[in-house]
Structure 1
């Protein structure tokens, strides 16, 4: 997702443009990795020394609820990244060392449907974790 689309979504939902929100979104738009609240706070406290985890998490929760950010849990900690722009359904490989992401264009649900014939599936999430070729 690009910054213009993110701001359009925020404004459509009654959120004002603030310098803190702007900086958070810029950090995500410049980095294709999953980031933690700590990653954001470390950068943002240089400009906003009194910035708290509460402010960061409140904004992250808003961005996730509006579909601007995606969230996952890695090693017991929540990580976030800008929502994919791809219109095609896909999943991700996530490098546990550098955090880089690679899209996986296939979906395992295509193979699982026959195993769940009487079930109604509303949603699913599939991620693969490991090391990318550069970190291996």
Structure 2
């Protein structure tokens, strides 16, 4: 999917969820699409402060959480910090990630180990799960 189409889809999802269009929101989602890896709120803030001098960190943080609530972003905790990644507008189904601990690059894993665990937890009701593999990517090895 083209980057412009992802941006347009994301802006439509924001509008559907009651967020007004702003150049800042478009710039944030564009940045996240282009980064294509998990990034911290601080990284987004530093980028946005270059583009929109004086932007509030709280505004960036609140918008990132709104975007995650609308399922535009995936989140993870990496090294004790919440990180955000563009979710591809639902074009990819259920999946997990390999995350490089050096550069943050991610690779999608298109299988889920939960089938194995469900067999081990007979009679239990599983309400959710997270599965991520951490290591060094090809470039960082």
TM-score bracket, shorter-length normalisation: over 0.9
Residue by residue, what CA displacement relative to the aligned partner does 1:70-109 show, whole Å, maximum 9, x if unpaired?
1111001111010144443221000011111111122111
Which residue of the partner structure matches residue 75 of structure 2? 71
Write the distance in 2 (CA, Å) between the matches of 1:131 and 1:45: 30
- Aligned pair 1:40/2:41, yes or no? no
Which residue of the partner structure matches residue 103 of structure 2? 98
- Aligned pair 1:131/2:136, yes or no? yes
Normalised TM-score (structure 2): 0.90
Which residue of the partner structure matches residue 119 of structure 1? 124
Unaligned stretches of 5+ in structure 2? Answer: none
Unaligned stretches of 5+ in structure 1? Answer: none
Write the distance in 1 (CA, Å) between the matches of 2:94 and 2:26: 28
SS at match of 1:45: helix
Deviating beyond 4 angstroms after TM superposition, the runs of 4 or more aligned structure 1 residues are none
Deviates more, 1:44-53 or 1:61-70: 44-53
Q: Which structure shows the bigger proportion of residues in helix conformation?
A: 2
Over aligned residue pairs, what C-alpha RMSD do you find?
1.4
Q: 1:29 Cα shift?
A: 1.1
Write the distance in 2 (CA, Å) between the matches of 1:128 and 1:3: 28
Write the distance in 2 (CA, Å) between the matches of 1:86 and 1:49: 34
